[in-house]
Amino acid sequence: MYRLMIRATFLLLKKIIVGDNVLIASKVYITDHDHGSITKEDLLIHPAQRSLVVYIDDDVWIGEGVIILKGVTIGKGAVIGAGSVVTKSVPSYSLILGVPAKVVKQL
């Protein structure tokens, strides 16, 4: 079970996996794909072929306005501060903040 607040957006072409007891605040944006680099070669590749699964483990808290990009794994019990942009996977039981998001504390 997870709790999803109003106006959170899941934009997926393949898969976003959300564990149990995950709290997701409003205005959160989670995507499993992007537009790639601005090169002719990347623009010719369909976005579904550039898709990478996003995995959010159990007991995660995601603050308001957080953006989680493709291929990211959020470890169990992690807390992501409001307005953060998560571009890389983060370990379990950590506090993540910033743009781009970084681990600021192990919980």
- Any idea which residues carry the catalytic annotation? 35
* Contacting residues for 18 by C-beta, under 8 A, at least 6 apart: 2, 24, 56
At 92, is the secondary structure helix, strand, or coil? coil
H-helix or E-strand containing 40?
Answer: helix 40-43
